[in-house]
Amino acid sequence: MSDQASDQTGEKIIGYVPGVFDLFHVGHLNMLRQARSRCDILVAGIVSDEMCEQGKGIRPTVPLVEREAIVDAIGIVDATYVETTLDKRDAWRDVRFHRLFKGDDWKGTPKGDNLEKQMAEVGVEVCYFPYSIQTSSTALRQHLKRAAEAVS
């Protein structure tokens, strides 16, 4: 199967990029661009504020409606989908994607292994892209916290 073209049956390949997309930065942009090149239709799964709190233990800085508007406005994705559960199979049931894209910081971890197993159950390929550690929402959040502490 080629990276972008439709599969051998002519079916368009639907790609899915889940993420919080908080404090939108070049790492997010790179992930979306790379995913765009590997599918015909690209859907960004925007993690709801509640699911971010449940899954990561933090509340996003930028509210969901604004994160969704930013991702939608940059012109890379064909659609956005709001994730309201932590189980990616729920998103698959609604979107019916063929490929799920994640940063390679997940690869070989218990979370990544579990994701691959769950996606294999529904015939979805998990593709990993290099994680941009130098620019991440976590790094930005830490920098902003240090800056705020320095001012206080």
In a domain? residue 90: yes
Q: What is the pLDDT of residue 1?
A: 33
Q: Is residue 142 part of a domain?
A: yes
Closest to 114 in 3D by CA, of 87, 90, 152? 87
Q: Is residue 1 part of a domain?
A: no
Q: Is the dihedral of CA 117, 22, 13, 102 positive or negative?
A: negative
For the chain, the distance separating the N- and C-terminal CA atoms, rounded to the nearest angstrom, is 56
CATH of the domain at 41: 3.40.50.620
Query: For the chain (length 152 residues), average pLDDT per consecutive 10?
Result: 56 96 89 96 97 90 95 97 95 98 92 96 94 65 66 74
Q: Is residue 3 a part of any domain in this protein? A: no
What is residue 26's predicted lDDT score, i.e. its pLDDT? 87
DSSP label of 7: -
Residue 121 forms part of a structural domain = yes
Q: Note down the domain range covering 67.
A: 14-151
Looking at the structure of the chain, the number of domains it has is: 1
- For residue 111, being part of any structural domain is answered with yes
Q: Confirm if 81 and 95 have CB atoms less than 8 A apart.
A: yes
Domain presence at residue 146: yes
- pLDDT score of 2: 39
In a domain, 2, yes or no: no
Nearest CA among 111, 120, 64 for reference residue 92? 120
At 11, give phi and psi (nearest 5°). -70, 135
Predicted TM-score (pTM) of the model is: 0.84
